[in-house]
Structure formats: structure tokens, C-alpha cells
Amino acid sequence: MKPEISVIQQFEDDKPVVCILGTKTIPDFLELTATEKEYVSRQIEAGEEFVSVNIYNKITFLVTLKESPDHFRRREGLRRTAYNMRKLFKGESFKDLVITSNEAYDGAVEDYAEALLLSLYSFDKYKTSSEGEKQKKDPSRLLLHGPQDDASIKWLIHLTDAVYFSRNLINEPVNHLNATALAEEIRKEGDSSGFSVEILQKGKIESLKMGGLLAVNKGSVDPPVFCILEWKPENRLNRHPIVLVGKGIVYDTGGLNIKTGDFMDGMNGDMAGAAIITGVISTLAKSAVPVHVVGLVPSTDNRPGGNAYTQGDIIKMYNKLTVEIGNTDAEGRLILADAISYASKYKPEIIIDIATLTGSAAMTFGNQAIAVMSNADRKYLKLLEECGNEVYERIAELPLWDEYEELLKSDVADMKNVGGREAGAITAGKFLEKFAEYPLIHLDIAGTEIQKKDNYYKLKRGPATGLRLLAEFINRLPNNIYIRE
């Protein structure tokens, strides 16, 4: 259960408090004694990240900000401190936790609260409790003290709600969340958040001749779906929509090129891209961001069932290009390609796809950066990079040079769906570019999303990396790129 967020103007000194210190000055409103202040000062001088003072039935935590020449790194340092402190608040029966600051930067309270909320997330809906077992006692409310910007607080609430929603979907096992069930969850989120959702069933997908999605689905007993999400406010500032495309593979066995070893572990989260763009659009709709956005989610599982597509098959895609299948485990790009082609009907300003696509991206950047490839105007990449720094979901660019297209050549079709071991992340992006009639930004989150241990508040097994990045990016578009006429 996600803790609630409230703003308080009057300091509540009977509750546990986290105070973020912008300087070494300890504020009087904490009501610490001279001896206690001396103790805290010694700990701060010794370089402690945080100090706790426990007085009878009240506990105070003082957090020091790390020095950095870059403000965005200072913000991330505070977020990481919140993660490091998360265990202090578990099992302590803290119903309320006050978060305040003294001479810290504007937004420090919100940054700490955001990271703490994301650090407290857990997926435990299928755990049963023995009688008398001690229940988890995370704080149920975070009380943000002081003058806070109303818009930023609402954004914090909507954004963290969306991350929780997306993480829940990513963590659902496929026996509870097949493609049809995913579509229904997206529909329910649209109803509650205020954006529209249209779900195309298999018959419609067949009539549209989405050969990539249909080929991947051939080994499954469950039908595919294609979801169209739309947030179209009356006061929108863009003439043409931003189209987001999210990979919706609810489970990836690799198909007939079946995954070996432990590479199938966690593949219920191969639909992270779909969950992420749903969370992004939910955040934008709830926050009434004046940007027209369309989301496209092609969804199926990839299994080696009875009539599964095979290596050597030739399929015709939605845009009529033919593709020779070189590997059935390169299925994500096939369903994304159909969706990217379909995006042309909206005459989009830009197409952004996000997917757990290639092991190559993970091997290149590890869990520290989202691999990005783009043929779009550099102004979008510049803004995306700035947003990536601010939310610390950073991007690292790979080239889309024409020479890489040579690796995708086929003797029997227009192209192959794989280009070999070399430059795997790049050739995947180059493949997708062939289906984009409008500017494309391709985000490969395989490294940042599929991880075995926590990367601070970006928790293991589906942190929904990229959601905060894209939400921030689109939220900033009106002030950075769009000009009212």
C-alpha cells in the first residue's frame, strides 16, 4: 500500500521527523537540547549521511546534503539517502512521518518523499500471513512540512501512483496477466485517470494485417491485443500528437529459439514498456498537461506452441515490408514495428518507443543508462537528456548510421529481424527505424529494467525505469519547445 501524501504548515513535534539540512545549522523548531545539537554536529562533521536522535517517544532524523558541482547529482544523492533510510521506517509502527527541511534547496522535501515512496514499494499481493505474524508497518502518511508548491505536490502524487501501478503490472505473473488481462488493466487505468482506451481484438488485428504481432502470437493459446490510449486535452499546445509505443510481451520464452539457463527468469516483465507508457499517460491526464499524446501497446506472449513461427519464416508487416525471421527471440521489434507503422495514421510530431529489447544494450551500459537511438531533431534529444539527469534516469546515445542497415540485409526478403551478434542494440533500433515514417526516438531499457538487485530506489524486478523520464519530458515540452500562437 502506497503511503498517502499530505502537506502541513504547522510543525507537528509529536511525530517522527526527517529534517533535510542545507547547512550545518540545526533549526530550533526541532527542539533539540544543546547536548543533542552538539552530538548531531559531531556526527555531521564526521561525514555521516544521516543522524538519528531518539528522545523518549519521539525520534528525529537529520539528513545532510552531499556537496556536488551539479545540482542534479545533489538531488540524486538525497534520493539515495532516502533509500538507505527506508529500513529505519519499516516495522516501527510509524503511522505518520513528517518530512521538513532547513535551508535546503527548493524541492528537497519532494525529492526525499518521492524516493522514499519508491523505496517502500513491494509486490506482496500473493503472500499469505500466518496467524499472529507481524504485519509490515510502513508509514501510512508522509506529512510534508512547510510552504510547498501545490502543482509540484500533485505531480508527485500522480507520478508515484503511476510508478506503483506500472510496477504492479510488471511484477504480475503471466498466469494472472496475459495480453487480454493487460488490456483490461489499461482500460481500467484509463477510466480512473481520464484518458481514452480502445482495444483491438485479434479479428481487427488480422484485418489490419499486422504481420509482426500475428507471427509472434502464433505459438500462444491466448489471442493478441492492440491497445490505443489517448490523452487529448482541449487546451493542447501541439498540432500533432506525441505517439508513445510500449512493448507488451507479457511473457517471453524466446519462442522456438528458446531462452536457456536463467535468461527466462523475470520475462513476465517483458511488457514493461507497455506498463510504462500507460503510467506516463495516466500521470499526464491526472495532471492535465496540455499535450496531445497517443499510446500504442501491441501485446502477446512469445511461446514455442503448436504453430509457432520459425527461424526462416518470411512475414509481411503492417506497412507491407517483408521480414525474414533470423531468430524468434527477436520478437519485440516485430510487434513494435507494426505499432510504429500504425502510428503514421496520426501524423505524429514524434514517435517514442520504449522496450526491454536487447541484451546488447544491457551489456553496453549495464544498469546505469537507457540506450537511446534517434533520427529526430536534436532539440528533443537535448530536452530528453536534461530530463534524464533531473530524474536520474539517464540516457546514453548510440548511432543510427546507415552502414548498420547492411547487417539487416536478407537474400529472400526486404530485411531480416536480426543483424548478428555485433552491434545488436543498434541493429534493433535500425530495424525499427525502417518502419517509422515520422521522427523516431527509440529507448532500450533492457539494462535499467531487468536487474537482479536494487539500484537504490529503482528496485529490482521491474522498477519501471523510463516512466519518470518520459513524464518529465512531456511535461516540460510546453515551456521548452511549444510556443503559443
Confidence (pLDDT) at 485: 35
Confidence (pLDDT) at 91: 63
Confidence (pLDDT) at 220: 97
Task: Flag whether 485 is in a domain.
Answer: no
Q: How far apart are CA 226 and CA 201, in angstroms?
A: 7
pLDDT tens per residue across span 98-126: 999 999 999 999 999 999 999 999 999 99
Confidence (pLDDT) at 10: 86
Q: Name the average pLDDT for the chain.
A: 94
| Residue whose C-alpha cell is 507508457 | 277
Shared-domain flag, residues 253 and 200 = yes
For the chain, the straight-line distance linking the first and the last C-alpha, in angstroms and rounded, comes to 44
Mean pLDDT lowest among 26-30, 32-36, 56-60, 77-81: 56-60
Q: For the residues of 213-271, what is the DSSP string, one character each? A: HHHHHTT-SSPPEEEEEEE--TT---SS-EEEEE-EEEEE--TTS---TTTTTTGGGTT
Q: How far apart are CA 199 and CA 468, in angstroms?
A: 25
- Count how many Cα atoms sit within 13 Å of the Cα of residue 378 in the half-sphere of its side chain: 0
Residue numbers of the domain that contains 19? 4-146
Task: Flag whether 151 is in a domain.
Answer: no
Shared-domain flag, residues 125 and 175 = no
Query: Which CATH number characterizes residue 452's domain?
Result: 3.40.630.10
Shared-domain flag, residues 404 and 326 = yes
Shared-domain flag, residues 350 and 331 = yes
Q: How far apart are CA 356 and CA 261, in angstroms?
A: 19
Q: How far apart are CA 364 and CA 427, in angstroms?
A: 14
Task: Flag whether 152 is in a domain.
Answer: no
Confidence category of residue 483, pLDDT binned at 50, 70, 90? low
Percent of the chain with pLDDT over 70: 97
Side chain identity, residue 453? K
Last residue of a domain, one of 87, 120, 146: 146
pLDDT at 285 over 90: yes
Shared-domain flag, residues 330 and 363 = yes
Task: Flag whether 95 is in a domain.
Answer: yes
Q: How far apart are CA 206 and CA 225, in angstroms?
A: 11
Confidence (pLDDT) at 482: 78
pLDDT at 453 over 60: yes
Shared-domain flag, residues 176 and 30 = no
Confidence (pLDDT) at 278: 98
Mean pLDDT lowest among 49-63, 156-170, 283-297: 49-63
Q: Comparing 426 with 54, which gets the higher pLDDT?
A: 426
Confidence (pLDDT) at 349: 97
Shared-domain flag, residues 268 and 142 = no
Q: Partners of 350 in the beta sheet?
A: 242
Confidence (pLDDT) at 339: 98
Last residue of a domain, one of 99, 123, 146: 146
Confidence (pLDDT) at 420: 86
List of E strands, 9-56 = 17-21, 50-55
Shared-domain flag, residues 60 and 30 = yes
pLDDT tens per residue across span 77-96: 999 999 999 988 876 677 89
Shared-domain flag, residues 226 and 355 = yes
Q: How far apart are CA 244 and CA 300, in angstroms?
A: 18
Q: Partners of 296 in the beta sheet?
A: 228, 245
Q: Smallest Cα–Cα separation from 205: which of 286, 302, 75, 300?
A: 300
Confidence (pLDDT) at 90: 75
**CA distances to 143, 145, 166 from 18, in Å:** 10, 10, 28
Confidence (pLDDT) at 176: 97
Query: Which CATH number characterizes residue 39's domain?
Result: 3.40.220.10
> What total number of domains does the chain contain?
2
Q: How far apart are CA 183 and CA 189, in angstroms?
A: 10
Shared-domain flag, residues 178 and 137 = no
Confidence (pLDDT) at 56: 72
pLDDT tens per residue across span 133-169: 444 678 899 999 988 889 999 999 999 999 999 999 9
Q: Smallest Cα–Cα separation from 441: which of 423, 416, 466?
A: 466
Length of the chain: 485
Confidence (pLDDT) at 451: 87
Which backbone phi and psi does 248 adopt, to 5 degrees? Answer: -120, 45
Active site residues: 259, 333
Residue ranges in 142-220 assigned as alpha helix (H): 150-171, 179-193, 202-208, 211-217
Shared-domain flag, residues 212 and 81 = no
pLDDT at 422 over 50: yes
CA 382 to chain CA mean position, Å: 19
Provide mean pLDDT across the span 272-289: 98
Shared-domain flag, residues 142 and 202 = no
pLDDT at 342 over 60: yes
Contacts of residue 182, Cβ cutoff 8 Å, sequence gap at least 6:
169, 225, 227, 248, 250, 271, 274, 297, 299
Provide mean pLDDT across the span 313-336: 98
Confidence category of residue 132, pLDDT binned at 50, 70, 90? very low
